[in-house]
A and B are shown apart, each in its own frame.
Chain A
Amino acid sequence: MSTLLSVKNLSIQFGGLKAVDSVSFEINKSELLGLIGPNGAGKTTVFNMISGFYCADHGDIIFDSENINKLTAAQVNHKGLARTFQNIRLFRSLSVVENVLMALQQRRHKGTFSDWFNSLFNTKAHQLTKKNLDLEARELLKIFSLDHHSLELAGSLSYGSQRKLEIVRALATKPKLLILDEPAAGMNHQETEELNKLIRFIKEKFNLTILLIEHDMKLVMNICDRIVVLNRGKKIADGLPKDVKCLPEVIEAYLGKKPV
């Protein structure tokens, strides 16, 4: 099994707080890795470093045998890494299909001279590209049965559908690795169940590698192939869900020490 992403000795400090301290882990191709830990453990900080929002003080992030540590968020995306957000960040007053189009078009229009020329003079080539992009977006929406909402504003969708759309939008950038930041946050039991199915489905369908941060233990234990546990910026466990669940360090991190 080959490694897609490997994080080595990653550290970052905010003022006096060492938010992440020498964390290392690896994700293999087409694996679903869960990253868990109690509040403030540094999970989202690790995410932000991987996706290019923070620059790590120490350590390396190797994606597809390239160091992506110093890249910006946009460049990280170009390498094939897409993410969603804990608090949904859709383009709320754009329609559903426009949201997907926005992500799709980044691959097609890179701002070359012919891009500008074609859109300024509305050439045949431009109309064709536009039509193809539109078709592609609608097909993608159809897979996730969001197509009958395609002209509604993204902000007017139900909470569950917004989550789904955010994942669809991330998929539209054609990633190799998808990072989901607490996708089940704010969802009820039934919605979480659907999300469970959705994540399995996209993993199969697009042959993706997924890194998942989650609080919902049931979801994590259900779908993850492997789990990494963080506490206070340090990695305390790494292994199969059923093994990690029983480790005393993990139980301690979540529930506290057993009184002696």
Chain B
Amino acid sequence: MALKVTDLRVYYRTLRGEVKALDGVTFSVADGEIMGLAGESGSGKSTLAKSLIRLDGRMRHAGGTVELDGRELPIADDRAMDEFRFREVSLIPQYSMSALNPTRKIGKMVGELLAARGVPDGTAELERRLELVGLSKDVLGRYPIELSGGMKQRVVMVVSTLLDPSLLIADEVTSALDVSSQKAVATTLLGFRDHGLVTSMMVVTHDISLVYQIADTILVMYAGRLAEKAPAEVLVTAPRHPYTRQLVAALPEVGVRYEDRRLTGIPGNPPSLLDPPGGCRFRDRCPLAFEQCAEQPPFAEVAPGHLVACWKAE
């Protein structure tokens, strides 16, 4: 079991109170698994992704544990986490275009980063991996501004995976790209796993149709909690949670992002996470809701590898 998350709670501090962005999630990711993590904005998927590598200043770890390869990650302790970052958990950020220091040559920046992390000589490996994604080693002598968007994206992907992390988090990596580049990025991510450069992967997206192409499993979140996790094929063809069903039914053609349409297929809005109502959070928008939904349904296994948080999922 590569990653094991148990009852994780992460809250955002705001002036109006704490927003329960991640309110008790429990799941695991197996060795070699590529898990897609899907949900609307505000579902808690980004909070989850950030929690596993670096909480930002306004986030508070309110409970629960994260275990990676049998070791607990000290996610609330920024200093202690440094040891795990890059080596064990790594990130391909959403903002690849601006992720590189604009005033350092790329090779120098990576060299300084590696030296600071106690990896004295990574240049040879770096050059080899750049070649793997179709970049010549010349890019190391250049400044980020001299690279095209696609090249920057690839450089970031190579840097992030350079120390063969056990878990790689890819956060909305494709949202800024056109369809053909999305395809290329997806292929590269698959290649990382298949070449054994990373053990497991979490691909955060709001585009199920894209993550479906590379993910082994898909986890759907709703309003800070887990809704459903299943093998990708099953989740798309035979979803059990009413939210996932509507999500899949509303699924547009490949590449079109549904977030732009604000989920026209599903009436209503997610509840406020400042002071969320008890019970199932999808209740108000759910066509199947009944009395028992006032109680939070467990995230239970209804078939091998298929977990659903819904009373009517049987």
Partners in one complex: no
